[in-house]
Amino acid sequence: MVSNETKMRQNRGRKRRTVRPLDQTGLRDLALSYAARYATSASKLQAYLARKIRERGVAEGEELDPQAIVERLVELQYVDDEAYARARSSSLLRRGYGARRVEENLRQAGIASDLREDIAPNAYLAREAAVRLAQKRGFGPFAKLALDDARRQKQIAAMARAGHDFAAARFVVEATSEEQLTQWLAEAADEQEDNQW
């Protein structure tokens, strides 16, 4: 293991790499690289570019327009808020997070409210996510230990923190069997089919 003193001695002779201030071309290259590497929203990309400008500064005589770069990448469909929101929502639901947590995550990513409403999970997807979280965390009928009232309340609170509404969290935690949850999911699927007609 290398001590801090040894690291300091090794670094004495090295020159620190100087970071060049940004010009419009450099900022565009950063934006392209970021969009190629990460799924992102226009708002998140805008925040990334603003951070890079703060960190590196602006080259002398340059006027940077990060908004124009973001707009161009949206126009070229390298950045697509709807695709990002759908993928992020789906990912969070698969991990067991509830509708409230999905909406909050998309809001923080700068997704417009009307798009967040369009992508909001339906009753079936919300219930499915609640059951998935219960399976993953060993809540309700998936618990290995008998539930006393204190443990039951903690599980309901954990599900509420994960974004599930109180009624759904309580139902899942207080379910007596996996079959009861399967029936609960089937009811939501039937309601969803009825609403489509």
131 close to 169: Cβ distance less than 8 angstroms: no
**143 SS3 class:** coil
d(CA 68, CA 108): 22
Residues of the chain with pLDDT under 70: 1-4, 6-16, 194-197
Which residues are within 8 A (CB) of 69 and not within 5 positions of it... i.e. 6 or more apart? 24, 27, 28, 31, 49
Query: What is the pLDDT, as a whole number, of residue 20?
Result: 86
pLDDT given at position 197: 47
3-state secondary structure of 71: helix
Report pLDDT for 146.
81
pLDDT per residue over 107-165, tens digit each? 999 999 999 999 999 999 999 999 999 999 999 999 988 888 999 999 999 999 999 99
C-beta separation of 24 from 14 below 8 A: no
Encoded amino acid at 46, one letter: Q
CA distance 22 to 57: 6
Q: Model pTM? A: 0.82
> Cα separation of 194 and 45, whole Å?
40
Question: What residues are paired with 58 via a beta bridge?
Answer: 22
Sign of CA dihedral 55, 61, 65, 68: negative
Contact 68, 45 (CB under 8 A): no
pLDDT at 19: 78
pLDDT value for 193: 76
CA distance linking residue 128 with residue 188, whole number of Å? 9
Coil, strand, or helix at residue 58? strand
- Strand-pairing partners, residue 22, are 58
How distant, in Å, are the alpha carbons of 37, 146, 165, 175, 185 from that of 84?
A: 13, 41, 24, 35, 27
